[in-house]
Structure 1
């Protein structure tokens, strides 16, 4: 099966993509294109999957860069292939031939580009990282490399949608303590539970960071098991583990 790669006109003509789970070598609960080295999938199979992604991006396997994601606001500026994965949640570069990638399974994969200045970025933005400023930090790191803030396009890929993201009081309180206006990203649920709009919040943070264009592809990871891995869906199904989707961009 060939790879399925979702793209956005906002990032054209740069080679980029939000890869679905289709077209991979993994089996069982990981069936498809599991690119997560942190999963308990067979390491050699994950490497086959990652090699397919690198080939689709037109780079060597060791030029498909990633970080050890920790739900932080830390950004790595890459100028060459990484010998190890630093603890961070975003990468930026202006070096041709490097593909920046992030892994997700409900969190937001966000790809950035200022096509005119040749600066790109990729961020893993879960609720904690988004609240703590990972998207703003990524834009700032791109500007430090020469990007023009208002020329940056940012695209949020497949993420868990509001209708599938039920949260409790402590979660809600963390947002309202930061800014009472964040109440707009919560809709009524059962009892003391509410539904959180993660992509809506991500778009808010991107626009507040001053990017010229921000969009969400409007794909829900939880609701489409044939195409996407989902941590929350796996948890509800009481499965042992889950695959990780990959998103990547290169100059």
Structure 2
């Protein structure tokens, strides 16, 4: 079972990938790991333009570059990893978007960053593995907050089932409203997707904070996921 984006795969100058439990850093990106920016993800909306390898970015949840050879990646374990690329592969971006980031406007901030130099109409977007509406059950209060904060998105898009949120659908709606050329959903649900491997292998394909929290409630000795979040990212590759 692979996570592929037809949109990103069609751009020859790109390498991209979505991590999982077996390979936290996708093999397609591993040679660029040393170029990653130093940052702390805080569920915020700050976007940083990365101009050199290893750049110190402090607190940030979105990254943008026009430089080749610099890997842009975010760590996730149920939140949305959203990858952006200009259609000619000359500029790229990535954001980490959980429910807070979606409400607070991180996708809008990335669109602002892109529109400063360019036009979102010349870009494509791919959403990677994340908690999907099949499993992402939340409080009624949080659903109400989404409905009140995002009144232009149909309620059935935000919450297709009682007390469930569809973060990917919310993101797609925002992305299209912001004028991006096209968007695809490349990954599967991080909470319930099985690995498809033999019984002696990892049962679940992805690291999931939500699934792990449920297990810890049942068994306080169950280990946490610190250090085991998966990377999703992309790089402008010049052979």
- Which TM-score band applies after superposition, normalised by the shorter structure? 0.7 to 0.9
Task: Name the TM-score, length of structure 2 as normaliser.
Answer: 0.82
CA-to-aligned-CA distance 1:165-196 (integer Å, 9 cap, x gap): 1111221222122133442211343xxxx111
Tell me the equivalent position of 2:181.
212
Judge conservation of contact 1:101–1:249 (CA < 8 Å) in 2.
Answer: yes
Tell me the equivalent position of 2:200.
none
CA-to-aligned-CA distance 1:34-77 (integer Å, 9 cap, x gap): xxxxxxxxxxxxxxxx5xx5x73274433123531111111000
Q: CA deviation at 1:223?
A: 0.7
Tell me the equivalent position of 1:43.
none
Structure 2 residue runs of 5 or longer lacking an equivalent are 195-203, 217-221
**Of 86, 111, 124, which residue of structure 1 is paired with 2:83?**
111
Q: CA deviation at 1:119?
A: 0.9
Higher helix share: 1
Tell me the equivalent position of 1:236.
214
Tell me the equivalent position of 2:21.
21
Q: CA deviation at 1:117?
A: 6.4
Size of the alignment, in residue pairs? 215
Q: CA deviation at 1:116?
A: 2.4
Q: CA deviation at 1:151?
A: 1.5
Residue 7, structure 1, aligned to residue 33, structure 2: no
CA-to-aligned-CA distance 1:6-53 (integer Å, 9 cap, x gap): 331201321111122224xxxxxxxxx3xxxxxxxxxxxxxxxx5xx5
CA-to-aligned-CA distance 1:203-250 (integer Å, 9 cap, x gap): 111111110101212510001253111010001111331120111101
Tell me, in whole angstroms, the C-alpha distance in 1 between the residues paired with 2:168 and 2:150: 17
**Which is bigger in relative contact order (C-alpha 8 A, separation at least 6)?**
2
Tell me the equivalent position of 2:198.
none
Tell me the equivalent position of 2:141.
170
Judge conservation of contact 2:38–2:55 (CA < 8 Å) in 1.
Answer: no
Task: Name the TM-score, length of structure 1 as normaliser.
Answer: 0.79
Call closer, same or farther: CA 1:217–1:56 in 2, change over 3 Å.
Answer: closer
User: Which stretch shows the higher mean deviation, 231-240 or 80-89?
Assistant: 80-89
Instruction: Specify the SS of the correspondent of 2:73.
Output: strand
**Of 77, 91, 95, which residue of structure 1 is paired with 2:63?**
91
Q: CA RMSD in A?
A: 2.1
Structure 1 residue runs of 5 or longer lacking an equivalent are 24-32, 34-49
